[in-house]
């Protein structure tokens, strides 16, 4: 690993990461900002993509192709659909899918297009480092399937469909598109999410209230992973 990309979707997801660094160089490119930092001699580029699959793909590809990052870590929040996941819990994706990708009219399974695949797997080595760090710090971390789509899913019916179709544990709006980019460009990657809303919550809860605390949980854990990667 010579240069590391760390990505979030929203500003709130990378703010707690940037807080760890004193010296930050900002590069503006393609209607976005990229924050260059150094950690114990390791060059890192941090960015938030903006919400959704298109922006996430653009940002991931830019970090790899323009900035020369050869490993990518994603930190952010997600909605839990596995009933075991509570607010603040951490989930590492072993694989990701696009729940809103649908050409089933042509006889293909949900989440599939020709030339692609339903599930993209994350880097086993990075997962193992993350699990080691979790065990050493007594953190409860679930390894599971994350489903991505360009919609904030709040309908119970839709959540059940996604859980039944993809056996997914959590939902978000960027991970699988980042996975497709990294997989295509042979870049090891890792998707970490902290749960900001869970399966049993009603739609009237205050998302913003949990966004900040869960984003901090994810960022703090990621920094611990960074320390282990640097060893």
3-class SS of residue 70: coil
User: In this structure, what token pair is assigned to residue 42?
Assistant: 């390791």
Rg (CA), the chain: 17
**Marked catalytic residue, from 11, 15, 197, 200:** 197
197 catalytic? Reply is yes
Neighbouring C-alpha atoms within 13 Å toward the C-beta of 57: 13
Q: Is 119 left (phi over 0), alpha (psi -120 to 50) or beta?
A: beta
Catalytic residue among 12, 13, 89, 169: 13
Check if the beta carbon of residue 192 is closer than 8 Å to that of residue 131. Answer: no
Beta bridge partners of 3: 43
Query: Shortest CA distance to 191 belongs to which of 149, 215, 222?
Result: 222
Q: What amino acid positions are annotated as catalytic residues? A: 13, 197
């Amino acid at each position: 690993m010579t240069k590391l990309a760390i990505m979030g979707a929203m500003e709130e997801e990378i703010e707690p990461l940037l807080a760890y660094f004193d010296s930050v160089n900002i590069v503006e490119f393609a209607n976005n900002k990229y924050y260059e930092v150094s950690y114990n001699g390791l060059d890192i580029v941090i960015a938030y993509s903006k919400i959704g699959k298109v922006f996430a793909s653009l940002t991931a590809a830019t970090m790899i192709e323009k900035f020369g990052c050869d490993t990518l870590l994603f930190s952010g929040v997600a909605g839990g659909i596995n009933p075991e996941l509570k607010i603040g819990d951490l989930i590492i994706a072993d694989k990701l899918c696009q729940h809103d990708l649908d050409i089933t009219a042509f006889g293909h399974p949900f989440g599939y297009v020709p030339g692609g695949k339903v599930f993209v797997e994350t880097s086993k080595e990075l997962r193992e480092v993350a699990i080691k760090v979790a065990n050493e710090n007594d953190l409860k971390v679930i390894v599971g399937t994350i489903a991505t789509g360009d919609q904030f899913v709040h309908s119970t019916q839709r959540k059940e469909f996604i859980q039944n179709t993809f056996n997914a544990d959590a939902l978000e709006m960027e991970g699988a598109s980042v996975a497709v980019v990294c997989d295509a460009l042979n870049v090891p990657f890792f998707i970490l999410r902290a749960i900001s809303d869970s399966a049993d919550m009603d739609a009237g809860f205050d998302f913003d209230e949990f966004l900040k605390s869960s984003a901090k949980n994810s960022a703090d854990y990621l920094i611990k992973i960074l320390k282990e990667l640097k060893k």
